[in-house]
Amino acid sequence: MSTHQHSSLFRGETVTQALRQSFIKLSPARMIKNPVMFMVELGTAIMLLVTLLSGVTTHASLGSVGYNAVITLLLFLTVLFGNFAEAIAEARGKAQAETLRKTRRDTQAKRLNPDGSLTEVSAAELKKGDVFLAEAGDVIPADGEIIEGLASIDESAITGESAPVIREADTDRSSVIGGTLVLSDQINVQVTTQPGESFLDKMIALVEGANRQKTPNEIALTILLASFTMVFLIVTVTLQPFAASANTPITIASLLALFVCLIPTTIGGLLSAIGIAGMDRALRANLIAKSGKAVETAGDIDTLLLDKTGTITLGNRKATGFYPYNGLSEEAFVRSAVLSSLADATPEGKSIVELARTRNVTVEPDGLEGASFVKFSAETRMSGVDLPDGRQVRKGAWDAICRWSDNRADLPLLEAKVKEIAGNGGTPLALAVDKKALGVIQLEDIVKPGIQERFARLRKMGVKTVMVTGDNPLTAAYIARQAGVDDFIAEARPEDKLHYIRQEQQQGKLVAMMGDGTNDAPALAQADVGVAMNSGTQAAKEAANMVDLDSDPTKLLEVIEIGKQLLITRGNVTTFSIANDVAKYFAIVPALFAASIPGLNALNLMRLATPESAILSAVIFNAIIIPLLIPLALRGVSYRPVGAAALLTRNLLIYGLGGVIVPFVGIKAIDLLLGLVR
């Protein structure tokens, strides 16, 4: 975890900054964006005017100056507490931004010139496309991709993880972040961002973003709350003529108190804080979300696409066996396998060379002058080498080698070994020379311990899991059964992922996916929630709407839980806020009309002492419940993976029923305290 993740909920400096911002946010231009709290502020202004008038004139509708002053103060505190909830969430973000800013230094960069010479320049002078040299002890001056070399990198300044990571050119872990430290070796890095657009700059802008965009759900809820406010405004206004016909004088203070207590001020005051805290929790999980919508959408995900290697399995598949065909000697077969893997930077390719060494077979690269190496691609699903003597050596997926081969007569016999390896959960890698299949290399991977339980957890959330793999259907089916996923895409190409995502979306489902390569970019852009690994390519990071700084393939599971926690927290607080109105109704309405309509005393369930005490108790409770719920809004409601019906039942029992009971208890307690004060 990063150092900026350990800030306490209420630090002295943060609280001081939030209190200052609470007063600044009283500006009507800002308050009008929150219709509920804006109406409370307007009511406070009216009460202030009424208080001043009641001090100089006597009228039945004005009431006493002391009572009016107390109601004015309580309404003002209600607005202030609502502002404080939002301000404390923003202040925590700004504190994180300050910590991040300290990691950004004006470092010097060793820029590589076209003639191979080096020029020392400030990091701020580096432009997109420039290449710089970074050696052991250097701070990487800008975000980029390694184009030559490999190095051990300390990323703790950004991700907080103390363990160094290996970054290497021509792999799926070639990306480096500005502000990280090179521990060993040297690398040539091509800059991928313009000055001011680095990940560190984006993180600072994200956590500092007080003027964040509201999400669609948040906008919809704001409109609903505004509608509730208008309804209760009409109800309150029509009470005055009703009271006049019943010969019941009601003061302006009482009407405003009733209005403020009936509108959903609790969720109105906490709504923005809940949204900001959701983004904050994502950042604390080392996720950069490009918008609040991405975090929120994650909570509604129906389908989750996961890569097999490194996510479901331990990754880094290793060669464990060579199986030559048709009497070919093992040494000749292994030598061809090594030739096909010398330029293969993948873990699988390196493991073939390592396994060959244990069989005392090596190939000196010096003897391959003039050879043309063919890199693996998602389209061909093969790699290999074209030798100077004209021989073509290829290794790859069985179906790809079958298509490449000319001699198909022997393929059915070799296919038996392919099916045997795949049926046992291994990955068969076919080898061919001059378009003739020679045998099979066996790769093995292991399903991660505990992964079945994690998928069962997702299933309880109602999320369908889909494994994406380049393996053949037999191997994919075996691993899918072992891991407990709901579906799989075998021999997956970029267009296959894209097609599957679109197919799910056409059925009205929301889809999440994680990727790291350039070939993942189209699918990441199409997915409703696309999470790119920070170690991946720039194309993947630009296409996704989230970036995982830890480059942890299992982070998608955490993303979904963060999104669900945000949605559940907002829903629960909304339920609690609306349920609150029931108790406040039973506190204020009987107090207003009990004198002229004695029968309404039956509704005074709390047996409050006096009408004035009942109104004051309700307004005090209405004000203090907002700061009491701030920790819940910032931390979020604890989430457990259960079905929608169970979640709804829990919501109604705890926050619905609790939202009715707590105000009854709280208002009665405040009434008793007021009685003691009197």
φ, ψ of residue 437 in degrees (nearest 5)? -65, 135
Is 344 annotated in a binding site? The answer is yes
Instruction: Compute the distance between CA of residue 458 and CA of residue 26 in angstroms, rounded to an integer.
Output: 43
The DSSP call for residue 308 is I
496 classed as catalytic: no
Is 152 annotated in a binding site? The answer is no
Is 533 annotated in a binding site? The answer is no
Is 596 annotated in a binding site? The answer is no
Q: Please check whether residue 306 is in contact with residue 480, taking contact to mean a CB–CB distance below 8 angstroms.
A: no
Q: Please check whether residue 151 is in contact with residue 137, taking contact to mean a CB–CB distance below 8 angstroms.
A: no
Q: Please check whether residue 124 is in contact with residue 195, taking contact to mean a CB–CB distance below 8 angstroms.
A: yes
Q: Which residues contact 35 (CB under 8 A, 6 or more apart)?
A: 222, 225, 226, 229, 268
Instruction: Compute the distance between CA of residue 318 and CA of residue 336 in angstroms, rounded to an integer.
Output: 17
Q: Please check whether residue 385 is in contact with residue 393, taking contact to mean a CB–CB distance below 8 angstroms.
A: yes
Q: Both tokens of residue 528?
A: 């409703």
Is 455 annotated in a binding site? The answer is no
CB count, 10 Å around CB of 382? 21
Q: Which residues contact 52 (CB under 8 A, 6 or more apart)?
A: none
Is 617 annotated in a binding site? The answer is no
Q: Is 452 exposed, middle or buried (0-12, 13-18, 19+ CB in 10 A)?
A: middle
Is 382 annotated in a binding site? The answer is yes
Instruction: Compute the distance between CA of residue 509 and CA of residue 523 in angstroms, rounded to an integer.
Output: 15
Is 380 annotated in a binding site? The answer is yes
Which H or E run contains 354?
helix 347-358
Q: How many residues does the chain have?
A: 678
- The string of DSSP letters for 185-215 reads SEEEEEE-S-TT-SHHHHHHHHHH-TTPPPP
- The string of DSSP letters for 395-439 reads EE-HHHHHHH-S--TTHHHHHHHHHHHHHTT-EEEEEEETTEEEE
Instruction: Compute the distance between CA of residue 88 and CA of residue 84 in angstroms, rounded to an integer.
Output: 6
CA distances from 203 to 94, 289, 301, 578 (A): 11, 9, 25, 36
Is 341 annotated in a binding site? The answer is no
Instruction: Compute the distance between CA of residue 363 and CA of residue 501 in angstroms, rounded to an integer.
Output: 44
| Residue of 172, 201, 300, 307 marked active site | 307
Q: Is 362 exposed, middle or buried (0-12, 13-18, 19+ CB in 10 A)?
A: exposed
What is the CA angle 54-58-62, rounded to 5? 50
Q: What dihedral do alpha carbons 666, 670, 673, 678 form, nearest 10°?
A: -160
Q: Both tokens of residue 615?
A: 């109104």
CA distances from 32 to 25, 40, 314, 446 (A): 10, 11, 53, 57
Is 51 annotated in a binding site? The answer is no
Is 125 annotated in a binding site? The answer is no
Which H or E run contains 156?
helix 156-159
Q: Which residues contact 462 (CB under 8 A, 6 or more apart)?
A: 302, 643, 644
Catalytic center residues: 307
Point out the annotated binding site for Mg(2+).
516, 520
Point out the annotated binding site.
344, 348, 376-383, 395, 516, 520
Point out the annotated binding site for ATP.
344, 348, 376-383, 395
